[in-house]
Amino acid sequence: MQAEIITIGDEILIGQIVDSNSAFIAKELNKIGVSVYQITSIQDDKQHILNALQESNRRSQVVIITGGLGPTKDDITKHTLCHYFEDTLKQNKTVLSHIEMLFKKFVSTPISDLNRLQALVPTKAEVLHNSFGTAPGLWMEKDGTSFISLPGVPFEMKGLITNEVLPRIIEKYERPHIIHKTIMTYGLGESAIAMKIENWENNLPEEIKLAYLPSLGRVRLRLTAKGKNKEQLQTRVNNEAKKLYPLIGDIIYGEEEDDNLEAVIGKMLTQKQMTLASAESFTGGKIAEQLTAISGASKYFKGTVVSYSTESKINVLGVDENLVKEHSVVSEEVAVAMAKNVKQILNSDFAVATTGNAGPTKGDSEEPVGTVFIAISTPELTFAQKFTMGNHRERIVQKSVNKAFEMLQKEILKF
């Protein structure tokens, strides 16, 4: 059971947007045992779309197409589908009244003829209800392949996939089970890990595949198994994962597909009924943002002070002005003071603080670009560590945020 994804839109081919739709669709298809063979991104060009439809028709049973369903002239997917399926467009009354309802309820401008055009659908298509927008999904079939055309707006596409597309695929196709397990590690490089688990890797059962996914100080180890018996597969994958602990247990911090360290920290704090605050300089609120991206964070996350200027470190966080003068604003002493003070001000059990220089210019300190201090304050102690994070602004910030969560998790574990 094999699927393909075709994303249509000039904006992808000129690099103006990153195609995140495909990742979502691929993930959802995988969960129900459908392998994605290929993702193809193409321009809003009739002949090119026709070629892509033809090629995918030969290869896959399900083809999901996103984009090009908007009301404006640059969107040609619907017309091209009509050409490919030798079909014509006809107004669909249910879609039209849905569009009229949406406009009445949510839009301040009156409905236009352009908006009404979105109610035109190919006569051979099954219409998939788009509760979040005006362009409906379309399900069409040819030579044993299902073609499913969806709008490119991510949140409309997601609604359609979840509510309309997946249930139909599950009903229509028999699928094997695909099991993924991702072991999350930090603090050791890809090849150093590979050396430590070499024997284990060589002895993996044939139906289990291993992949290394390195990123900014972390490596994810992904185990994939495919087969008919779901429980048996799950057991085998779990057994193999367990064998990793004696080998690299010290660097493993989670083993769920969507685990990230922030979520792990959130779970730990919730369980222990303890709280966290942060004081951020060059990380500019990124620690807070990643923490609060998790629903329910208000239970354990008290807040952040982003003290981007030296002045605010003194005024808001109450860092001693002399401390700054003596040690410079990028120093172990200031990091420690920031963590201690924010913990007190926000009345939390733990605190994390960052001060450093992310470049490209030097800012308020003499420390070279890439020098950062990360401080952790716990109910028992406060300490800071110095790091050299390279010279790439974005990477310095993200590596430091990752490192801060790593340090934090190790400390929270002790309580």
Segment contacting its own copies by CB under 8 A, of 138-146, 239-247, 307-315, 370-378: 307-315
Smaller CB distance to its own copies: residue 124 or 224? 224
Three-state SS annotation for 258-301:
CCCHHHHHHHHHHHHCCCEEEEECCCCCHHHHHHHCCCCHHHCE
Per rule CB under 8 A, is residue 289 in the interface with its own copies? yes
Mode of pairing for the β-strands spanning 62-66 and 145-150: parallel
- Binding string, residues 120-149; x marks residues near its own copies by CB under 8 A: ------------------------------
CB neighbour list of residue 292: distance below 8 Å, 6 or more residues apart: 298, 301
Per rule CB under 8 A, is residue 364 in the interface with its own copies? yes
Per rule CB under 8 A, is residue 306 in the interface with its own copies? yes
Do 262 and 290 touch, CB atoms closer than 8 A?
yes
| Residue 2 CA: distances (Å) to CA of 26, 56, 174, 333 | 11, 10, 11, 58
Per rule CB under 8 A, is residue 176 in the interface with its own copies? no
> Applying CB under 8 A, which of residues 163, 241, 272, 284 lies at the interface with its own copies?
284
> Applying CB under 8 A, which of residues 120, 127, 247, 345 lies at the interface with its own copies?
345
According to DSSP, the residues that pair with 179 across neighbouring strands are 225
User: Residues 277, 282, 285, 286: what is their CA dihedral angle, to the nearest 10 degrees?
Assistant: -100
Segment contacting its own copies by CB under 8 A, of 119-127, 137-145, 169-177, 312-320: 312-320
> Applying CB under 8 A, which of residues 56, 77, 260, 307 lies at the interface with its own copies?
307
Per rule CB under 8 A, is residue 18 in the interface with its own copies? yes
CB neighbour list of residue 323: distance below 8 Å, 6 or more residues apart: 333, 334, 337
Segment contacting its own copies by CB under 8 A, of 17-25, 85-93, 230-238, 376-384: 17-25
CB neighbour list of residue 257: distance below 8 Å, 6 or more residues apart: 180, 181, 182
Smaller CB distance to its own copies: residue 71 or 176? 71
Smallest distance, Å, CB 261 to its own copies? 16
Q: Which of residues 256-275 bind its own copies (CB under 8 A)?
A: 257
> Applying CB under 8 A, which of residues 89, 96, 120, 210 lies at the interface with its own copies?
210
Instruction: For residue 233, give both structure tokens.
Output: 């597969």
CA 180 – CA 237 distance, rounded (Å)? 8
- Binding string, residues 59-98; x marks residues near its own copies by CB under 8 A: -----------xxxxx------------------------
Amino acid, single-letter form, for residue 148:
I
Smallest distance, Å, CB 192 to its own copies? 4
Smaller CB distance to its own copies: residue 8 or 376? 8
Give the total of residues touching its own copies (CB under 8 A): 104
Smallest distance, Å, CB 414 to its own copies? 24
CA 80 – CA 48 distance, rounded (Å)? 10
